[in-house]
């Protein structure tokens, strides 16, 4: 769903303008997944194939207007974006040694603009292009170690390959997480 500011808010500065659009439509998507899992005893291996077909995708686009000598930005509906991909994930307990849990995944996504007649420099110039800010490859890793029944330490890396991407809002590039936990 478009936000209130995307529908009704407009701003202007010396060299840029944001134009609202009260006619924005909500996104509609058809998503399909096919998953195969293999139980490896103390680990689970998962392979997932996925496809997502989004109509009226909400997307911010900016063009330079030479007449106004400024950038003009607006959120608009991109008629159709299709993403196809595969993810391989592994999650295991007591791997290598007792108390060591490991998990990780690697994802490949081919996300392309299939139809976009909107606010672009040349109509049709984005057709077939890779969707910006959606990484082709993405990987994560997480390790937890149970020191004893009460103490656990965890370390993880999200976005191992350090790509800029977004999903409703921008994500940081590579990020790290560390935790020391005590259970009563």
Contact of 155 with 143, CB cutoff 8 Å: yes
pLDDT at 155: 96
Q: Which residues contact 154 (CB under 8 A, 6 or more apart)?
A: 142, 143, 144, 145, 177, 178, 179, 180, 181
CATH fit for domain 4-182, picks 2.40.30, 1.10.3470, 2.40.160, 1.10.260: 2.40.160
pLDDT at 2: 64
Q: Which residues contact 144 (CB under 8 A, 6 or more apart)?
A: 100, 101, 102, 152, 153, 154
Under-70 pLDDT residues of the chain: 1-14, 118-124, 165-172
Name the token pair of 117.
Answer: 């007649």
Mean pLDDT of the chain: 86
Q: Are strands 70-92 and 16-19 parallel, antiparallel or unpaired?
A: parallel
pLDDT at 167: 59
pLDDT at 90: 98
pLDDT digits (tens, 9 = 90+) for 103-116: 999 999 999 999 88
Residue ranges per domain, the chain? 4-182
pLDDT at 160: 85
CA distance 43 to 93: 6
């Amino acid at each position: 769903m478009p936000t209130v500011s995307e529908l009704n808010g407009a701003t202007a500065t010396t060299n840029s303008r944001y134009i609202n659009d009260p006619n924005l439509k909500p996104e509609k998507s058809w998503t399909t997944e096919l998953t195969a899992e293999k139980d490896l005893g103390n680990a689970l291996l998962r392979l997932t194939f996925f496809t997502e077909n989004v109509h009226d995708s909400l997307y911010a686009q900016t063009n330079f207007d030479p007449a106004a000598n400024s950038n003009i930005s607006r959120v608009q509906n991109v008629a159709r974006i299709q993403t196809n991909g595969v993810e391989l994930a592994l999650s295991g307990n007591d791997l290598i040694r007792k108390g060591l849990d490991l998990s990780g995944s690697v994802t490949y996504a081919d996300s392309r603009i299939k139809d976009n007649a909107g606010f672009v420099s040349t109509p049709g110039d984005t057709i077939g292009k890779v969707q910006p800010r959606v990484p082709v490859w993405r990987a994560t890793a997480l390790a937890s170690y149970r020191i004893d029944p009460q103490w656990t330490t965890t370390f993880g890396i999200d976005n191992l390959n350090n790509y800029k991407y977004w999903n409703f809002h921008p994500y940081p590039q590579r990020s790290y997480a560390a935790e020391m936990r005590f259970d009563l």
